[in-house]
Amino acid sequence: MAVLCAKCGAEVSPGAQFCAACGTPVAQAAAPASSGFTPVNIPVIPVQAAAPSQPVASSPPLTGYTPVAAAPPPAYIPPPPPPGGVVQTSSGGGGGAIKIILIVLAIVIGLGILGAGAVGFFVWRVAHSFHVNGKNGQVTINTPGGNVSTSSATSFTSDELGTDIYPGAQATAGGMRMNLPSGSVISGVFTTSDSKDQVLGFYKSKFGSEASVFDADDSAMVTAKKGDHESVMVTISAKPSENEGKTKISIVHTRTNRPS
């Protein structure tokens, strides 16, 4: 069956894609039409691309209106300096911590200086409280509460020591006199070639039955009280490795000024 052009009605050759009369594209029938049906070619309508959008024109300014440009932001103006003329700036937490450290360091240094000064003053006072006699090696310490003197050549009397000195004993280094407001302490040190038991027997007889005696292998001690404010203690030591093998005798006589 012949195919007719849908536009001009001309007959189109079988298998043709366009109408030979007007050039309109035609569609081929896929199968023979049933009796009584006439196929109609549907024309292809080309689609045109949409035109680009045009910018919307702004409305004209009102009569008598003059557009004004936006003003720029104001420039930063620093605040005026304080009356002293020094501008203070904030340095954050680090500056505060540094200030605290400096303050603590200054306090520590100040305390150290004060401590050194106090120690130096104490040493100066102690140094000036000593009086050394170069002739006999005597050392005297004078303090507000009294004085202390020591000497290797000091001689003591029986009254000062509160008892007799062992016969034939020789004075040696260690003797001392100390006078204080509360009383006095006098100590004498001697050596003898006699044995410990000989020296102990001598002082036991001097002090009598009221004496307290402590006796060991190479040492002994005898103590006696003379009233409420006076006492005497004699220490005896006989060690072969000390004092050139001699027996050492130490006598300490103590007196107090306290009322009864």
Q: How far is CA 221 from CA 24, 117, 182, 217, in A?
A: 153, 46, 25, 12
Whether 104 and 2 share a structural domain: no
What domain range is 22 assigned to? 1-32
Report the pLDDT value the prediction gives residue 1, as an integer from 0 to 100: 61
Whether 123 and 189 share a structural domain: no
Last residue of a domain, one of 115, 131, 147: 131
Mean pLDDT of the chain: 73
- pTM over 0.75? The answer is no
Question: What percent of the chain lies above the pLDDT cut of 70?
Answer: 57
Ordered DSSP codes for 16-52:
-SB-TTT--B----SSPPPTT----PPPPPPPPPPPP
Q: Which two tokens stand for residue 163?
A: 């008892």
Which residue stretches of the chain have pLDDT < 50?
29-35, 47, 86-91, 134
Whether 141 and 251 share a structural domain: yes
Three-state secondary structure along 61-103?
CCCCCCCCCCCCCCCCCCCCCCCCCCCCCCCHHHHHHHHHHHH
Report the pLDDT value the prediction gives residue 163, as an integer from 0 to 100: 92
Q: Which two tokens stand for residue 182?
A: 């509360």
Q: Among candidates 249, 245, 246, 224, which has minimal Cα distance to 236?
A: 249
- Does a structural domain hold residue 48? no
Report the pLDDT value the prediction gives residue 84, as an integer from 0 to 100: 52
Count of structural domains, the chain: 3
Report the pLDDT value the prediction gives residue 197, as an integer from 0 to 100: 93
